[in-house]
């Protein structure tokens, strides 16, 4: 049976790679996309999510969510990473997929209540909508199957600051709420995604054998490769958002460490995720009375890319 998933997203070039994969893979039944600011302003990320539903050819609802973080002022949008339009200049002018009348948190709550024990949430943007849904209906924590987050960095540096990964940095207070809730979370952060390199050769194969969607992804990825080359100094891209989905469909490709996770909300380390592996002692209280988080500590990067290309060129 395909996994029922709900993707909370800020599309975003790597979000596009993730969502078109989820809509194509036989392993997933996508119950909807909820949108959040992050890689661009909310109107743009919602437009892009609707465009992806058009491209994916498998209709699913799109519900718009937060325009701003819960507490802090919104950070600057990363146009140099994803372009002004979030898709490296490739966002289609027109979209067909309808926009739900519900807000993202309402849609999340309703979908979870309608499918008790069956839904896996896959947040691949800032965690604002997920935290808002929890605040509105705390019982959803006991009704989901799991939560597979792209975000955080446990034993490596961040990517937007030396301390923080982008999705957590964008809304640390929301992330702290999500990591504290009594549900099972998989944290698929930079410890794993920095071990999954997407190369220009991989993308050339997508363009040749992946049909119209492969060509779209290859065109959008130009911006992403440009950022990785010019700013990060790499000749490949980190494959962030698709990895949160592949951790569900291909769990053996990732190593995990059961931990509790807390988020630094203020100061120069804001957005840092600190993970305490379960067996470790802490003299300071507040670490052990928290939900269990499976922190992905590593990945079989080559295996992840082989699997992704297999699905997208089938």
From 82, 228, 238, 240, the catalytic residue: 240
Pairwise CA distance, residues 171 & 68, whole Å: 9
Question: Residue 176, interface with Ca ion (CB under 5 A)?
Answer: no
Distance of CA 2 to the CA centre of its chain: 19
CB of 232 to ligand RIB, least distance (A): 12
Active-site residue among 8, 10, 85, 170? 10
238 is catalytic: no
Residues engaged in binding ligand RIB (CB under 6 A) = 10, 12, 14-15, 38-39, 124-125, 150, 159, 165-167, 240-241
Q: Which of 77, 52, 50 is nearest to 63 (CA)?
A: 50
Tokens linked to 280: 């470790």
203 binds, among Ca ion, ligand RIB, none (CB under 5 to 8 A by kind): none
Structure token pair of residue 42: 């909310």
Stretch that binds Ca ion, among 57-65, 220-228, 234-242, 262-270 (CB under 5 A): 234-242
Please identify, using beta-carbon distances, which residue of 111 and 159 lies nearer to ligand RIB.
159
Cβ proximity to ligand RIB, 173 vs 241, nearer residue? 241
What are the CA-CA distances from residue 156 to residues 159, 192, 258 (Å)?
9, 10, 17
Residue 165 touches which of Ca ion, ligand RIB, none (CB < 5 to 8 A by kind)?
ligand RIB
Say which DSSP state 38 is in.
S
C-alpha to C-alpha distance for 9 and 67, rounded to whole angstroms? 12
DSSP class of residue 251?
Answer: G
Of 30 and 287, CB closest to Ca ion: 30
145 within 8 A of 119, measured Cβ to Cβ = yes
| 124 sits near Ca ion (criterion: CB under 5 A) | yes
Measured from the CB atom, is 40 or 108 closer to ligand RIB?
40
Q: Which residue is nearest to ligand RIB (CB)?
A: 166
Query: Toward ligand RIB, which CB reaches closer, 143 or 274?
Result: 274
CB of 138 to ligand RIB, least distance (A): 26
* Residue 23 partner contact from Ca ion, ligand RIB, none using kind-dependent CB cut-offs of 5 to 8 Å: none
Q: Three-state DSSP class for 140?
A: helix
Our answer to whether residue 194 is catalytic in this structure is no
Interface with Ca ion includes 125 (CB under 5 A)? yes
Angle between helices 13-24 and 240-249 in degrees, nearest 10 = 30
Q: What is the smallest separation between the CB atom of 22 and Ca ion, expressed in angstroms?
A: 13
C-alpha–C-alpha distance, residues 205 and 291, integer Å: 41
Asked if residue 15 binds Ca ion (CB under 5 A), the reply is yes
Number of residues in contact with Ca ion, rule: CB under 5 A? Answer: 6
Q: Within the chain, where are the H helices?
A: 13-24, 42-56, 79-82, 104-114, 128-136, 166-170, 172-180, 190-193, 200-209, 211-227, 240-249, 301-312
The option from ligand RIB, Ca ion, none interacting with 166 (CB < 5 to 8 A, set by class) reads ligand RIB
Instruction: Quote the least distance from Cβ 39 to ligand RIB, whole Å.
Output: 5
| Of 141, 112, 130, nearest in space to 70 by CA | 130
As annotated, the active-site residues are 10, 240
């Amino acid at each position: 049976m395909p996994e029922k998933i709900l993707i909370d997203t800020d599309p975003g070039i790597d979000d596009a790679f993730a969502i078109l994969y989820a809509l194509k893979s036989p392993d997933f039944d996508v119950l909807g996309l909820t949108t959040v600011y992050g890689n661009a302003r909310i109107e743009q990320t919602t437009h892009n999510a609707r465009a992806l539903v058009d491209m994916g050819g498998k209709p699913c609802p799109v519900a718009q969510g937060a325009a701003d973080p819960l507490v802090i002022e919104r950070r600057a949008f990363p146009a140099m990473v994803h372009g002004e339009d979030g898709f490296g200049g490739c966002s289609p002018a027109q979209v067909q997929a309808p926009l739900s009348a519900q807000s993202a948190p309402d849609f999340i709550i309703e979908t979870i209540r309608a499918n008790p024990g069956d839904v896996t949430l896959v947040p691949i943007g800032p965690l604002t909508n997920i935290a808002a849904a929890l605040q509105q209906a705390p019982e959803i924590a006991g009704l989901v199957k799991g939560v597979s987050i792209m975000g955080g960095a446990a034993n490596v540096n961040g990517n937007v600051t030396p301390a923080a990964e982008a999705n957590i940095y964008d809304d640390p207070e929301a992330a702290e709420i999500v990591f504290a809730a009594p549900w099972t979370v998989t944290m698929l952060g930079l410890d794993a995604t920095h071990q999954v390199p997407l190369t220009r050769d991989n993308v050339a194969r997508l363009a040749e054998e992946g049909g119209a969607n492969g060509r779209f992804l290859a065109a959008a990825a130009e911006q992403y490769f440009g950022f990785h080359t010019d700013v990060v100094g790499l000749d490949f891209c980190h494959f962030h958002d698709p990895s949160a989905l592949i951790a569900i469909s291909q769990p053996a490709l990732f190593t995990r460490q059961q931990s509790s996770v807390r988020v630094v909300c203020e100061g120069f380390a804001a957005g840092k995720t600190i993970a305490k592996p379960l067996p470790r002692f802490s003299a300071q209280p507040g670490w052990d009375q928290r939900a269990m988080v499976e922190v992905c500590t590593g990945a079989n990067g080559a295996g992840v890319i082989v699997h992704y290309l297999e699905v997208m060129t089938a």
